[in-house]
Amino acid sequence: MACILKVPTAKGKGVVTFTTQERDKCIFRDRELQRKMASMKENWVVGLHHNWHDHSLLYNPLFDFHMAGEEDLKEVNGREIPLIPMDACNFVPECFQPSSTARFWDILYIARAVYFKKIPDFFDCVRELYDRGHRHRILFLCPVPPYRWSERKTVFYNIHKVYDRMFSEEEKDRFTLLTLNYRYPFPFDLETLAYFYRSSRIFVHFADDERRCRVAAYAWCSGIPVVGMACIGSLLPPPLRREPFFFEVRDMGRFHERIEEALSSVRTPSLNFDEVRNCLGERSTKAVFRDHLKRLFERRQLEFEDGYLLLSNLDRRLGRHMNFGNDRNVVPLSMEDFLSILKEGEERLGALRNCQDPEMEAAKWSRSSERSSI
């Protein structure tokens, strides 16, 4: 979602970011939108939030900086990209924190029912664990998108049939598949979601081509180890991609072994996750992000006023999309309406600083204007 990070004032420019999906599905398909964005840069510094890694990025001067991990972008001509090495995963809310309460589930996995999450491989791993006599209690939270024939090759719609075929009723008493087909893709509020993490011993993620996963960030901030392929660990700085924080799996067929090792590690009561929490928890990272923005402004010889920052709820705001898709990860604003809102004066935009969700509040302005014109 286009995200307002700093309000422009008479002294300095504002900051706004767009997602790569908005770039590809809206901005790059409309020359008039590109013209409007270029003209607004008189008052705005424009960033691009990458929702996926891109090793064939083509530089475009429309964007003044990029938000992604240091290893996630590579410009095709070798050009240096102005980078803030953070994204939505770096702003985990405070409700995700370690707990001394008893853990009910041994293993937690949270993934949408899409094939790139490698759910069949997860099922195979659970089958292997159970066949070896490890009767772990497992919770799999799995939001399922509404059925669309066009997405049948990417969405694991027959997940229940596969689950029923692979596991007995007794095994399903210990391996809970909780599919959720409402409020997609975020059926729970964050406080509720955090409860599942605090009640679990380890977190697993089976994707083999997904970097900087938000659900893994939630696990680390909750003080529980993560088991996954190397791409999952890319969210952490290289020195922290190690046990007891991250148990890297090099071969999908050996996943069960690393799970057992991770479960053994949590029997040590003195595990300290402060290092990873400082990299991912919003209590620490908001200040780091502010410093990145300040340096960006200094390099561009611009004045920076940090009193006009809008840094609430960035773990959701930075990565969601504007007015396309049929789920809860969108804001009901057209790109044209959003660009019009960015032309509002300092006083009105400044009022957004008091909002937990500035873009949703701005969407109310647009709807109010539409009603008054009827």
Exposure string over 174-188, b if 16+ CB within 10 A, otherwise e: bbebeebeeebbebe
pLDDT for the residue 325: 55
Q: Could you tell me if residue 100 is inside a domain?
A: no
The token pair that represents 320 in the structure block: 């969601």
Residue whose structure tokens are 């929490």: 277
Q: Could you tell me if residue 191 is inside a domain?
A: yes
Say how far apart CA 177 and CA 125 lie, in whole Å: 14
Say how far apart CA 214 and CA 218 lie, in whole Å: 6
Are 193 and 235 part of one and the same domain?
A: yes
pLDDT for the residue 267: 82
Residues of the chain above pLDDT 70, percent: 95
Q: What is the mean pLDDT of each run of 10 residues along the chain (374 residues)?
A: 89 94 91 93 95 91 94 91 95 93 94 96 98 97 94 94 98 98 90 96 96 95 97 95 96 96 86 92 96 96 89 92 64 88 89 89 70 35
Separation of first and last alpha carbons in the chain? 28
Find the domain containing 286 and state its range. 3-91+281-372
Are 244 and 323 part of one and the same domain?
A: no
Are 264 and 251 part of one and the same domain?
A: yes
Whether a cis peptide bond, with omega within 30° of 0, leads into 244 is yes
C-beta of residue 139 within 8 angstroms of C-beta of residue 200: yes
pLDDT digits (tens, 9 = 90+) for 39-54: 999 999 999 999 889 9
The token pair that represents 321 in the structure block: 């999309």
Say how far apart CA 267 and CA 263 lie, in whole Å: 7
Last residue of a domain, one of 251, 279, 307: 279
With CA atoms as reference, report the closest residue to 109 among 183, 179, 167, 52: 179
Global pTM? 0.91
pLDDT for the residue 370: 44
Say how far apart CA 66 and CA 302 lie, in whole Å: 18
N residues, the chain: 374
pLDDT digits (tens, 9 = 90+) for 315-351: 999 988 776 655 566 788 888 999 999 998 888 898 8
Q: Could you tell me if residue 109 is inside a domain?
A: yes
Last residue of a domain, one of 235, 260, 279: 279
Are 128 and 231 part of one and the same domain?
A: yes
Q: Could you tell me if residue 247 is inside a domain?
A: yes
